[in-house]
A and B are shown apart, each in its own frame.
Chain A
Amino acid sequence: GEDVEQSLFLSVREGDSSVINCTYTDSSSTYLYWYKQEPGAGLQLLTYIFSNMDMKQDQRLTVLLNKKDKHLSLRIADTQTGDSAIYFCAESPYNTDKLIFGTGTRLQVFP
């Protein structure tokens, strides 16, 4: 089945690290993505990881993939108020451009 799960809320202090978690079910997924959505806006592609990788780092963002447990996480270092948004993980099943999205995690950063 197709199901991607995320926790709904995360609140962190400015300057701390944020870790957003996601579990997915389709083991055939070739790519896994993280998108950011700010109020009233579309989705901004933050980063993605190929399914044969364990980790990918891109400036303040670190993606960890545990394929055995079908668990994906996004770590944001030195979280800023501008990082406050909803974060979606998504999987892309094999041989398709279709994205299956999680429910989204609302990240709130307080001073």
Chain B
Amino acid sequence: KAGVTQTPRYLIKTRGQQVTLSCSPISGHRSVSWYQQTPGQGLQFLFEYFSETQRNKGNFPGRFSGRQFSNSRSEMNVSTLELGDSALYLCASSGRENTEQYFGPGTRLTVT
């Protein structure tokens, strides 16, 4: 079974631009969660989607948004990028029992 895939792996953007990151969960998994990892703040929960519905949301500004498609693939979008948005963005998927969350390799976003 293929693991969680994330595209692109690396991205460089300029302040004020917007960015879209993509995540394909493990086949059969319907829950997708997103996390931001920075040296200063560590790993922080962004949001979680299940069957195209956002179930939980972390404490991030409205510039951070996401969605999930009918095939369980998920995208997250960050608008009006700030330098502080530079981070590793990780996506995780989990199956029916929602017990085990498997992470993708991440997308490293650099904002200049």
A88 within 8 A of B: yes
B55 contacts across to A, CB distance below 8 A: 96-97
Q: How far, in whole Å, are A43 and B91 apart by their CA atoms in the complex?
A: 10
Q: How far, in whole Å, are A73 and B87 apart by their CA atoms in the complex?
A: 28
A101 within 8 A of B: yes
Q: Mark B94-112, 1 if CB is under 8 A from A, else 0.
A: 1000111111111000000
Interface size on B, residues (CB 8 A): 25
A98 within 8 A of B: yes
Contacts A42-B104, A48-B100 hold; do A98 and B43 have CB atoms under 8 A apart? no
**29 A-B pairs in the complex with CB atoms less than 8 angstroms apart:** A41-B105, A42-B105, A43-B90, A43-B92, A43-B103, A44-B103, A45-B100, A45-B101, A45-B102, A45-B103, A48-B100, A88-B43, A96-B55, A96-B56, A97-B31, A97-B33, A97-B48, A97-B50, A97-B55, A97-B56, A98-B33, A98-B45, A98-B48, A98-B56, A99-B43, A99-B101, A100-B45, A104-B42, A104-B43
Give the shortest distance, in Å, between A92 (CB) and chain B (any CB): 8
